[in-house]
Amino acid sequence: MASSEEDGTVEEKENNNKKRTKSTLATAWLTFYNIAMTAGWLVLAMAMTRFYIQKGTHKGLYRSIARTLKFFQTFALVEVGHCAIGIVRTSVIVTGVQVCSRIFMVWFITNSIRQIQSEESVILFLVVWTMTEITRYSYYTFKLLNHLPYFIKWARYNLFIVLYPVGVVGELLTIYAALPFVRRSGMYSMRLPNKYNVSFDYYYCLIIVMLSYIPLFPQLYFHMLRQRRRMLLGEVIVEKDD
């Protein structure tokens, strides 16, 4: 009996050591990732500010930062992986929707249609994204380092109240501005007849994307408001089962 109990204790210690090692590696990776992303969005913020000071206009700003923006926004797909493997306790679906919607805005709207790159709405959502991401990634970085300044926490759970709706307005206005160009060019569309016998109209796809904001935006916004009450006001949010 003593031998079996000792074996069980040894196995338990080994399992605990493995868990601690995995936790340490996960924390190290997440800290590196969030520092890198904070730095990336700070670079974008400085580049946008410098461009506007030098040129005195927003025209051409998107093109000047496009490569950096595409890299860091696309790299955010890693966050979906974080959720999927469990090193971050966040919904894969919520994270996936947020990340993929931004990648869609960057690659399939703004980057693909040069005629809209100087629209004010593009600058609007870029400024909002930049402010949001600098705040968000710096919050995660300081939290992982166990040294979270209150003003960072306050900014994380208060600025979104204004920034989130403003960013959504910028995105919707940008998609709306893209519609005439998409309709005239037929980009990303497939007309019948073709060898695949499939029809797809990107113009109507964008309209559906715009309509999808109606159910999705309130869900994500109120989710953040619940998080705000829990983190800043200390309320325990009880989810009711349907």
> Would you please indicate which residues are annotated as catalytic (active-site) residues?
164, 171
> Residue 167: which of 227, 122, 117 has the closest Cα?
122
Q: Give 209's contacts (C-beta < 8 A, 6+ positions apart).
A: 104, 175
> Residue 117: which of 46, 50, 67, 63 has the closest Cα?
63
Q: Give 155's contacts (C-beta < 8 A, 6+ positions apart).
A: 135, 139
What is the rounded CA–CA span in Å between residue 126 and residue 38?
A: 15
Q: How crowded is the C-beta side of 56, counted as CA atoms within 13 Å? A: 0
Q: Which helix (H) or strand (E) holds 164?
A: helix 160-185
Q: Counting Cβ atoms within 10 Å, is residue 125 exposed (0-12), middle (13-18) or buried (19+)? A: buried
